[in-house]
Amino acid sequence: MIKVQREDFDIGAELASLTAGNTKIGGLATFVGLVRDLADQGAVAAMTLEHYPGMTERRLAEIEAEARSRWPLEGVLIIHRYGKLEPGDRIVLVATTSAHRQAALDSCAFLIDWLKTKAPFWKLEEGAKGAAWVEAKESDDRAADKWKR
């Protein structure tokens, strides 16, 4: 399931909902991304996340489908926020469930690595020196590349 939203999310409630009623699930893996207060350009006072409505949902659905084709998953949840956020705020939740832990853990890592290089989101950081668009990192490309087939 894909959710692209401005609002915050309740991790406990989302995970409870993802596993409710499915006793085939033996493992639940999660990744939560948060706004840090320190970036490459210095202290971050706020961050604004921009995205491409329509394309974002389609690319995330494609990434979910790819994960389901590679691992035997019971459930997939991706929540990604947009709009203005502050240090400590939650940005993204990726959660996967499976009968066994390895499929859940590996698919969760795969989803966040691919999301970071394929989903059309952009971060604008505001600090003491003004606002600056976050540059894409080569390390993120390498993280995504290791899942290529």
Residues that bind another protein (CB under 8 A): 33, 49-52, 54-55, 58-59, 80, 91-92, 112, 115-124, 133-136
**Shortest distance, position 45 Cβ to another protein, whole Å:** 18
Amino acid letter for position 63: I
CB of 12: closest distance to another protein in angstroms?
22
Smaller CB separation from another protein, 21 or 148: 148
- 86 and 14 Cβ atoms separated by less than 8 Å: no
Task: Indicate the burial class of 17 (C-beta count within 10 angstroms; 0-12, 13-18, 19 or more).
Answer: middle
Tokens of 31: 């990744």
| CA dist., res. 77 & res. 126, Å (int) | 29
* Phi, psi values for residue 141, rounded to 5°: -60, -45
- H helices present in 28-145, as ranges: 55-70, 101-118, 138-145
DSSP 3-state of 19: helix
Question: In angstroms, what is the minimal distance from the CB of 134 to another protein?
Answer: 4
Nearer to another protein, 63 or 104 (CB): 63
Which residue number, 19 or 117, has a Cβ lying nearer to another protein? 117
Q: How far is the CB of 85 from another protein (least distance, A)?
A: 12
By beta-carbon proximity to another protein, the closer residue of 52 and 129 is 52
User: Contact 96/108 with Cβ under 8 angstroms?
Assistant: yes
Tell me the closest approach of the beta carbon of residue 52 to another protein, in angstroms: 6
- Which residue number, 22 or 145, has a Cβ lying nearer to another protein? 145
